[in-house]
Amino acid sequence: AEATDMQVFNKLESEVRSYCRSFRTVFKKASNAFMWDVHDRRYIDFFAGAGALNYGHNDDSIRKKLVEYLMSDGVAHSLDMATEAKESFLVKFQNVILKPRGLDYKVMFPGPTGTNTVESALKIARKATGRTNVICFTNAFHGMTQGSLAATGNRFKRGGAGQPLGGTTFMPYDGYFGEEQDTSLMLGKLLDDPGSGIDLPAAVILETVQGEGGLNLASPSWLRSVERICRKHGILLIVDDVQMGCGRTGSFFSFEDAGLSPDIVCLSKSIGGYGLPLALTLIKPEYDIWRPGEHNGTFRGNNLGFVAATEALRFWENGQFQASIERKSVVIGNALKRFAANYPELVKETRGKGFIQGLVFHKPEHAASLCAEAFSNGLIMETSGPFDEVAKLMPPLTIEESVLRQGLAIVEQGLDRLQA
């Protein structure tokens, strides 16, 4: 069946297509944490649209709002004109997300994708400080265009296109040299030293957990130390919460635990609620310095995205959703710890936090085999890390606990198979 299923794609779609190679089937429908293919095979989704589906596939109440909006001739596209849909989103985002957390940000819509919010953040930090350099970290992933790519660690992702736009300096992320070394001290010292050869940067950009880079987790104390360095040198702190935001690590923003106060926050993926493209750049009011039109673009106001995003914020209206994420994260964490203990020849360690956790393999090919084995047993998950050595579990936050346990059992079954 596979050969015929994939024929059209093989023939008509560019060779750069990638996920369809790991998941060799044609999908047709999906509901919460399940996907079905054209052969009516059911899969449990531990991939969640690369983090764009924190609220699952086809959330019923979001879908109703979308259908209602469509049927009422709601404006679908209007560049960044003021619309009712945008107004509702802004008010709800203010009331449900920013106000209760004591956060004061202006909201910018930079374009439809995560890459767009990162680009806008880098640009505005450069304008605000008059500096060019940006500090970024080993194994960071920030996007696929020339500016965001210049802040992305993985050489392969440059697509053989040579040097992306420069003006970045890579520093070791937390834990890069092992747990004993506090790499923020290195950053602090290099920036204090006029002889270090490093230009004082406009910004430091970081992920609190590196989603693509191997689920490396920055400690709250390291994050606070980086923030102090930023304050000392007038550097803007940008947190790229494109993948870790919207509850992935447990709280709405991934930096809440550490108590950071980023100058700019990048949000995309799950903020669109239903897998619809939407991105937000949150900017401290003092850095909201662009004049009208200085950062333009056609798709900066996806009204269907606003409708979906507004309804998705209902999950954050009380503490229940967050409590359920925390409860189910323990199930994931305990299972992975048990797997690491039971399969020490395969698994080196566990990594991550909340609903983004994974198994680090001694040999990358074992991570790939586990994902392939899982897929043949009806579970979708992918690898991450510089060597693709990490099997990454990233289910929708709305997954039912029983389905979560079924998925984890498939992972265990795969490990058992690999061990044999």
Contact status, residue 386 vs residue 210, Cβ threshold 8 Å? no
Stretch that binds ligand PMP, among 78-86, 96-104, 110-118, 167-175 (CB under 6 A): 110-118
- The single residue among 240, 263, 373, 389 that binds ligand PMP, judged by CB under 6 A, is 240
Sign of CA dihedral 298, 300, 301, 304: positive
- The single residue among 56, 110, 111, 114 that binds ligand PMP, judged by CB under 6 A, is 114
Tokens standing for residue 232: 């000392």
Number of H helices, E strands in the chain: 14, 17
Give residue number: closest CB to ligand PMP. 114
For ligand PMP, the closer of residues 269 and 328 by Cβ is 269
Amino acid in the structure at residue 160: G
Tokens standing for residue 205: 């950009």
Whole-number Å distance between alpha carbons of 368 and 388: 8
Whole-number Å distance between alpha carbons of 234 and 225: 14
Instruction: Please give the residues from 257 up to 296 whose contact with ligand PMP meets the rule CB under 6 A.
Output: 268
DSSP state for residue 112 in the 8-state scheme = S
- The single residue among 66, 85, 97, 118 that binds ligand PMP, judged by CB under 6 A, is 118
- The single residue among 184, 216, 243, 303 that binds ligand PMP, judged by CB under 6 A, is 243
Stretch that binds ligand PMP, among 156-164, 178-186, 207-215, 230-238 (CB under 6 A): 207-215
Instruction: Please give the residues from 131 up to 170 whose contact with ligand PMP meets the rule CB under 6 A.
Output: 141-143
Please state the closest distance from residue 238 (CB atom) to ligand PMP, in A: 11
DSSP state for residue 313 in the 8-state scheme = G
Nearest to 21 by CA among 368, 378, 358: 368
Nearest to 252 by CA among 57, 46, 88, 96: 96
Stretch that binds ligand PMP, among 23-31, 33-41, 239-247, 251-259 (CB under 6 A): 239-247
Q: Collect all residues with Cβ–Cβ distance below 8 Å to 337 and sequence separation of at least 6.
A: 350
For ligand PMP, the closer of residues 114 and 175 by Cβ is 114
Q: Does residue 47 interact with ligand PMP by CB under 6 A? A: no
HSE-CB for 121 with a 13 A CA cutoff: 39
Stretch that binds ligand PMP, among 102-110, 114-122, 158-166, 382-390 (CB under 6 A): 114-122
Stretch that binds ligand PMP, among 71-79, 80-88, 111-119, 373-381 (CB under 6 A): 111-119
Q: Does residue 129 interact with ligand PMP by CB under 6 A? A: no
For ligand PMP, the closer of residues 247 and 414 by Cβ is 247
Whole-number Å distance between alpha carbons of 245 and 247: 6
Residues at the interface with ligand PMP (CB under 6 A): 50, 113-115, 118, 141-143, 207, 211-212, 240, 242-243, 268
